[in-house]
Amino acid sequence: MADSKIALITGANRGIGKEILISLSNDGFTVIGTSRSQQGIDDVNNVLKSTNGSGCGVIFDVTDKNAVSTLNEKITSEYGKVSVLVNNAGITMDNLLIRMSDKEWDEVIDTNLTSIYRITKEFVKDMMKERYGRVINIGSVVGVSGNAGQTNYSSTKSALLGFTKSLAKEVASRNITVNTISPGFIDTDMTKKLKDSQKDMLVKSIPLGRMGLASELANVVGFLASDKASYITGENINVNGGLYM
Ligand code: NDP
């Protein structure tokens, strides 16, 4: 384990990110949780208060190229070097390919993929100097299975698998592990957009017979961030109730 237990989670104010915040805070990490809004930051700070945890919320848009080094400087000066990076923030803008606009393509690629290139590059440099680190990417079942109406989104999540394996090979000698967790359908704002009829059909195709809880994802992040996962790298862990095996 690193001397400093400092975790950074992108998109920590709600959904899966919020449960990861609770889990890592309960495990004794100082956690920096990002959101794009002041309300989101207040929510992160309230969660940290409720867990008696240390850390704080920071406003950060993952698509803002220039904000990444500022974020690192702020965390380093106030808390120390980040040892666990959780790339969680993500969006969907679904459409069939023939109807997809450039905006829908570009925004999803930029938010879900290019941001991870930039953020990971910034923080992994410090991990290399510290000779310790954990990078945990949140992918998706549709990155392995594909899904009609999600060519943009599933492309980003498939790409994460290649990114994860390649980076894992680059940094393994510095005691840094890089893994992806690919959730199935988890009950958050992202899936609230689905119609009830769509949800019913989906649930029927899940062997465990229900949507997942964000906390069930967070448990796996907690494991990968811990010393118990010290020999796992370049992996994709499916957490999908058996939807895709
Ligand atoms: P939510 O829609 O509930 O939350 C999304 C989070 O991402 C919010 O905290 C949001 O912040 C943040 N975010 C979005 N865009 C940006 C941005 N440009 N900059 C910074 N933060 C941003 O999503 P989930 O919790 O459901 O999803 C979390 C991750 O899990 C995503 O990567 C998603 O693709 C993945 N996933 C989710 C599944 C599900 O069924 N829910 C299934 C498979 C994968 P803000 O509140 O400030 O907008």
**Which mutation among 36, 47, 64 tests ligand 1's pocket best, with the greatest number of atoms within 8 A of CB?**
36
**Could you tell me the pLDDT band of residue 1, with boundaries at 50, 70 and 90?**
low
Q: Is 88 in the pocket of ligand 1 (CB under 6 A)?
A: yes
Give residue 140's pLDDT.
Answer: 98
Model confidence at 215: pLDDT above 70? yes
* pLDDT, tens digit (0-9, with 9 covering 90-100), for 9-25: 999 999 999 999 999 99
- Say which residue, 1 or 145, is predicted with more confidence: 145
* pLDDT, tens digit (0-9, with 9 covering 90-100), for 142-190: 999 999 999 999 999 999 999 999 999 999 999 999 999 999 999 999 9
Average pLDDT over residues 193-220: 95
Strand segments (E) across the chain: 6-9, 30-35, 55-59, 84-87, 133-138, 176-183, 236-239
Biggest distance spanned by C-alpha atoms of the chain: 51
* pLDDT, tens digit (0-9, with 9 covering 90-100), for 92-127: 999 999 999 999 999 999 999 999 999 999 999 999
For ligand 1, atom 19, name the residue with the nearest CA: 61
Integer Cα distance of 44 and 11 in angstroms: 10
Model confidence at 45: pLDDT above 70? yes
Average pLDDT, the chain: 97
**Could you tell me the pLDDT band of residue 242, with boundaries at 50, 70 and 90?**
very high
Q: Is 138 in the pocket of ligand 1 (CB under 6 A)?
A: yes
Give residue 194's pLDDT.
Answer: 87
Give residue 3's pLDDT.
Answer: 60
Q: Say which residue the tokens 């906390």 belong to.
A: 215
With beta carbons less than 8 A apart as the criterion, state whether 164 and 234 touch: yes
Q: Is 179 in the pocket of ligand 1 (CB under 6 A)?
A: no
**Could you tell me the pLDDT band of residue 193, with boundaries at 50, 70 and 90?**
confident
Ligand 1 center to 159 CA (angstroms): 17
